[in-house]
Structure 1
């Protein structure tokens, strides 16, 4: 094993001297230049270390897409003490709490995370079982960072009189083409690795950023409180060389909520890091995690399973059509919607969300869309409701008013689902916030089982018995995932075509 002190010095030296002006890279050339994973050695190390890890794993999901790598786990849509206790009582080691905090204001986010941390700490003491909190965020770096993890840290430290030593940042998510190489986070687009800071996601109106190098990004987001050169970087070379002792030793040295950036391009990279992490946790270290969906699957030791089939999801006696709700306004979603429109057997309804500026007309529009959709679904025709593709823009300085209007639009869309007079054979919601609101306000889900994925990175819930449509297959389709044809492919799978 490599000496940990030397590895740390080399990592810091490389970081200080590398250019942080990230440039696009050829995907295949880049992968060819990186040492291959020794899968057998990784599995052997994991099989030796993982069984001794018994912490309860609580994943706080800032939108419903965080279950896009797992199956056979529970998702709860509230965070009461009773719910957290229910999660601790489960036989499963891991459970998810859908906070949907990416749709919250900063103040709302602060309160929710304070409440969860206090309750998790209380329940942990009651059951005398240690736990970790994973803040599952967007793999393209959007969301309330560093607010969420800082509130968790501060609350736990105040409640438990203990120290949180560090924060692990691991945004890798292979199914979505989000890879971290040389500490730079990339988004795969047509065989080109595009630095995340150069994508449309970095231009998000609420959670935008400039940096692609994760050290720079942390420094940017924390307004300089954490410096790029003070961050611990876990390199791909260290992971591929299986330097478990060295990585664990590095983690043991982290204190004062120091930041740890993990490079990864394969799930086994995460598994090697997690093996070293477990050693540090067993030795008393405490960390908060800000990660994408890959880490939750690995740390939860959840197996891979084949993609879900129509036969596993659709009742063979179903006579109604399916219902698809498209709300996300990212370009990828619009492109996927346009491709879906080539399926002639579907019925399409545009919901003119701009009428939200005229209260009476907006109510009439909501009713018109629902009645037309009900008529078609009852006739066995699967129907797609999509919001007007042009985003409502009131002009500079009116972002708060736009947010209020977007909530009204979301409430109207979810009311269509909640008040739907018949059960569709399936339901798809496109977009993170859209899928959360449809799930919690439209379907009124309190707890759901994650059945698996219907396409890479696209999870399916089976709703609970308390929901508007019990046990319906509910496809949560992230706005930023998939190729142009993926939405069409998913619908055609469910349609049996």
Structure 2
């Protein structure tokens, strides 16, 4: 598949009266009894919402609290992208059984969304198959279809003629031809979402058997036609939704909610745009420094960089070159020598504390070269990667000085820093500091209550975006 020019491709897509679309959507959302439960495979899924809760576990108490909130939507952070397949099955079975039981107890129906990476990485189809099997075993529900919608405008992830693209400047690159498709754990080749489903399900679900919601139908505002397509779904049929803007999601969700009223059952595998629209979350301006830092300690801030994707390294280099912050490289290759590694962790932590106490902000980052042990040693590499991740997190959990703010760069890094390093059980999503970059306000139970914790995905933003986010926090 060829790289496309974004302007040329988007110029051919018809416009639609968005006010009319939103009026119809508001009617459906107002009358919808459904609680939207989002299972987030890393903390970046809240990158489009604000004023909602994210729970960092899936205990009965957390799920029950989510169901009892006034909000239509809440998030459960599974961090499953960092799980083995066995761990993923265990977690999703537990969640499905608890959600079903609590839904029955509370008398509140629900829709489950498995929020995955917009570049198509993650435990798919394992997560949604596990959810389907567990819920069908525990109830009378039979799932007719699975909605697949990786569209995420803020990150430049667009689906056109069933092909999922990643935007780089003016270029739209088919997802299967990006660095994300070469992921060592979750790699894939297909960019056409029907082919991607066929590839991922090993042929169980064929490209030609999928239902496709086209941009033409969406831009015609033909809710009835989309509803009829959804009503035809059976046997957990895959429903591929095209989208290049939020209005496409709004038309689809209107039809989707109408279809639920007809008694159809669906699971969703999506990126974060669908969660915003179906959760009824309004637009909100980017957060200001005054909104972010409500308790100014006079200390410096802390930026943790673990992600190794190319975009992260570019953003890190721009930040370091700006001289906005002090930079400390964490030589994680010393993990091969236990004694040296312990000393390195201590050196990094004490250096950070000294600088933060003096009012200087710090970025500490893992050495950029990947640790490669050679052929057929992936299991050893994985064990070392876990040890490195634990060390990165321990530096935060062992801090004796409260930073003015904390940024964590990378999905798995931000999850472990938030849940283990900061001991967050529940956080409020305050909004975004930059498009697609969400902010938690940490709960009272956390290590630093009320702290602005910026969850910065590894693959979002331009080369300058990390520097620009720090400038906001520093009041520059």
Calculate the TM-score normalised by the size of structure 2.
0.99
Given that 2:162 and 2:240 are in contact with CA atoms closer than 8 Å, whether structure 1 keeps it comes out as yes
Mapped pair 1:60 → 2:23:
no
Correspondence for 1:277: 256
Given that 1:461 and 1:475 are in contact with CA atoms closer than 8 Å, whether structure 2 keeps it comes out as yes
What is the Cα deviation at residue 346 of structure 1? Answer: 1.3
Mapped pair 1:167 → 2:131:
no
Given that 2:16 and 2:221 are in contact with CA atoms closer than 8 Å, whether structure 1 keeps it comes out as no
Mapped pair 1:291 → 2:270:
yes
Q: Partners of 1:488 and 1:345 in 2: how far apart? A: 8
Select which of 240, 246, 250 maps to 1:261.
240
Q: The residue matched to 1:91 in structure 2 has which SS?
A: coil
Correspondence for 1:70: 49
Mapped pair 1:475 → 2:469:
no
What is the Cα deviation at residue 87 of structure 1? Answer: 0.7
Correspondence for 1:156: 135
What is the Cα deviation at residue 400 of structure 1? Answer: 1.4
What is the Cα deviation at residue 316 of structure 1? Answer: 6.3
Q: List 4+ stretches of structure 1 deviating above 6 A.
A: none
Given that 1:172 and 1:292 are in contact with CA atoms closer than 8 Å, whether structure 2 keeps it comes out as yes
Q: Partners of 2:377 and 2:177 in 1: how far apart? A: 26
Given that 2:439 and 2:453 are in contact with CA atoms closer than 8 Å, whether structure 1 keeps it comes out as yes
Number of equivalent positions = 476
Q: What is the root-mean-square deviation of aligned Cα atoms in Å?
A: 0.8
- Give deviations 1:175-203, integer Å, cap 9, x for gaps: 00000000000000011000000000000
Select which of 116, 139, 145 maps to 2:124.
145
- Give deviations 1:411-450, integer Å, cap 9, x for gaps: 1111110110110000000000000000001001000000
Deviates more, 1:341-350 or 1:310-319: 310-319
Correspondence for 2:221: 242
Select which of 299, 312, 332 maps to 1:353.
332
What is the Cα deviation at residue 48 of structure 1? Answer: 2.7
Q: Partners of 2:45 and 2:26 in 1: how far apart? A: 25
Q: Partners of 2:455 and 2:20 in 1: how far apart? A: 35
Correspondence for 1:51: 30
Select which of 435, 441, 446 maps to 2:414.
435
Deviates more, 1:393-402 or 1:77-86: 393-402
Correspondence for 2:205: 226
Correspondence for 1:459: 438
Pair 1:33–1:345, CA change in 2 (3 A): closer
What is the Cα deviation at residue 315 of structure 1? Answer: 3.8
Mapped pair 1:392 → 2:368:
no
Correspondence for 1:301: 280
Q: Which runs of 5+ in 2 are unaligned?
A: none
Pair 1:251–1:338, CA change in 2 (3 A): same
- Give deviations 1:289-313, integer Å, cap 9, x for gaps: 0000000000001000000001111
Mapped pair 1:132 → 2:131:
no
Mapped pair 1:186 → 2:156:
no
Correspondence for 1:215: 194
Mapped pair 1:39 → 2:39:
no
Pair 1:317–1:214, CA change in 2 (3 A): closer
Correspondence for 1:13: none
Correspondence for 1:17: none
Given that 1:315 and 1:425 are in contact with CA atoms closer than 8 Å, whether structure 2 keeps it comes out as no
Mapped pair 1:95 → 2:83:
no
Mapped pair 1:401 → 2:380:
yes
Q: Partners of 2:295 and 2:373 in 1: how far apart? A: 47
Q: The residue matched to 2:322 in structure 1 has which SS?
A: coil
Q: Partners of 1:483 and 1:345 in 2: how far apart? A: 18
Correspondence for 1:370: 349
Given that 1:345 and 1:381 are in contact with CA atoms closer than 8 Å, whether structure 2 keeps it comes out as no
Q: The residue matched to 2:112 in structure 1 has which SS?
A: strand
Q: Partners of 1:39 and 1:90 in 2: how far apart? A: 30
Q: Partners of 1:121 and 1:410 in 2: how far apart? A: 33
